[in-house]
Chain A
Amino acid sequence: MPPPVQIICASEKDRTFLRGVFAALGAEAVFSADLNDALAVLEKTRPAAVFVADGEEPPPEVQLRELKRVAPFLPVVPLLKRRDAGRAVELMKAGALDCAQAPWTEEALRPLYRKALRLTGTAVTLDSNALRSRRRSLALALAAFFAFAGFAGGFYYGFRRFSPKALQPHSFLLPYAHPTGIVIRDGSALISDWYSQAVYEHNLKNFGIRRVTSLPETTPVAMTATPDFLWLAGTDGVLQKRLLDARYTPVTKTPPLSPRPDSVCYDGLYYWTADSRTGRIVKRMPNDSLTELKSFAYPGGKLSALTCDKRFLWAADGSLKSVLKMSLDDPERVLSRTELKAYSSRTLKITAMAASGGKLWFAGEDGDRALVFFENEPK
């Protein structure tokens, strides 16, 4: 239903005529006999436009002025009794929207009625023209987005699939950065860290920390264990024998060993120490001094870490990117060499090893983080 229009017309005859015309236009017309009456109901009716009949008092010029004072933006259309262009222009200069010419037929009033309604209120529409013009650019943007998403997804998939994996599946990141020794026993992993001067006990299943033992008097650079004792090597080449209690109570210590070891292991009968700098592997007596029995040259490239079990010596080789298996009887004889996939990370530096339960455990630094991972023992 369109908003109402107000008609100011004193003549009953003209009102009757105009009532029919505006009804034919589909307009809701509110009639006022004079200007005072119109101003009184203007606020209540809120018309979209006002049509003022000419030839009555006061003249349309006065009514126009008064109406504009109350409602400056209200369209006012004088209904001229005769076609007078000069008067029409003067009324338009005074603020009339336009002037209707006589006779006031439906055909004559229709354009003015529609134009008056169009000028009232802010038109709110969906700007379909703008949408159409933007449709193409929107379609292009969507196509570009999907193309990019497809490219990025394919690139990511290819990258994941074809790039070497830097981290092994069975690996755990460590909350500390400089592991130097690892021991696997009783469902736990003991790991020494030279920077924090501590031994961390981890749950072997999820590598959650069970206990941290601080060793302020020692900077551990290597570690191994027997069923009864823990052995820690310091930076001075001295190995300390400690109890496997809560505080790893020191028991004895060796004199400074030469070369200073950064790997140590126990094969069940003898102790083995190794120095990655010189590549020397030393077999030692199982006494408190770890007396040297024989020294061997590492047969591989660059020794990173050494461990052993009752059958073999195992070495992580940083230059060969492999694990070497060596004979306990002749450590200078390589029994097998197995590529270690973890070395696909160029920044990996293995610093400790342990052999337990058919698995080889590795601890090391990879960039600015430390990790532990294990592999099945190579055949």
Chain B
Amino acid sequence: MNRNDLLIPAIVRASPERPELWGRLASLSPQEAELITQFALPAGRVVTLSFEFAGEKFEDVRARVTRAPRDPDGYYACALAFLDAGQRDGLRAAVLRVSPFSPPR
């Protein structure tokens, strides 16, 4: 497992009618992510994420909220599953770039 320098802040768009929300990504992989946020996101909702990772900007990455349990502090730990195959490939490439086991350029 690789660790980022900080919990990646991310902008979350849950609905076109509602203002954008925000949170931090506690974990990130090409297939899924965990978002820690103070805002309630119902399970099953499709959201888009925008964040910076490995020197690259990822905009409107589509994901589905699979579950969103609330922690004792009142924050939501939302499990997200990425939906777009192309976006997953981009994430995989970014993860490989920052992975300590990836070959040097």
Contact = CB atoms under 8 A, between A and B. Distances in A.
Nearest to A90: B9
Contacts of B100: none
Contacts of A114: 72-74
A284 B51 CA distance: 119
B58 interface: no
Interface core residue of B10, B72, B74, B75 (most chain A CB under 10 Å): B74
A93 B51 CA distance: 10
B38 interface: yes
Contact of B11 (A85, A110, A111, A118): A85
B55 interface: no
**In terms of DSSP, what is the predominant structure of the interface of chain A?**
helix
Interface stretch (B18-26, B61-69, B84-92): B18-26
A111 B38 contact: yes
Contacts, number: 41
Contacts of B21: 85
B75 A115 contact: yes
Nearest to B75: A111
A88 B73 CA distance: 20
B81 interface: no
B73 A115 contact: yes
B12 A85 contact: yes
- Counting contact residues on chain B (CB < 8 A from A), the size range is 10 to 19
- Counting contact residues on chain A (CB < 8 A from B), the size range is 10 to 19
A98 B24 CA distance: 9
A144 interface: no
Given A89-B9, A89-B11, A111-B75, A98 B38 contact: yes
A110 B22 contact: no
A112 interface: yes
A215 interface: no
Nearest to A91: B9
A83 B74 contact: no
A86 B75 contact: no
A99 B73 contact: no
Nearest to A112: B38
Contacts of B52: 93
Contacts of A83: 19-20
A85 B73 contact: no
Contacts of A111: 38, 73-75
Interface of B: 6, 9-12, 19-22, 24, 38, 51-52, 72-75
11 contacts: A85-B21, A86-B11, A88-B9, A88-B22, A89-B9, A89-B10, A89-B11, A89-B22, A89-B51, A112-B38, A118-B73
Given A92-B22, A111-B38, 14 more contacts: A83-B19, A85-B11, A85-B12, A85-B20, A85-B22, A86-B11, A88-B22, A89-B9, A89-B51, A99-B22, A111-B74, A112-B38, A114-B72, A114-B73
Interface of A: 83, 85-86, 88-89, 92-93, 98-99, 108, 110-112, 114-115, 118
The 4 closest A-B pairs by CB, nearest first: A111-B74, A85-B20, A92-B9, A114-B73
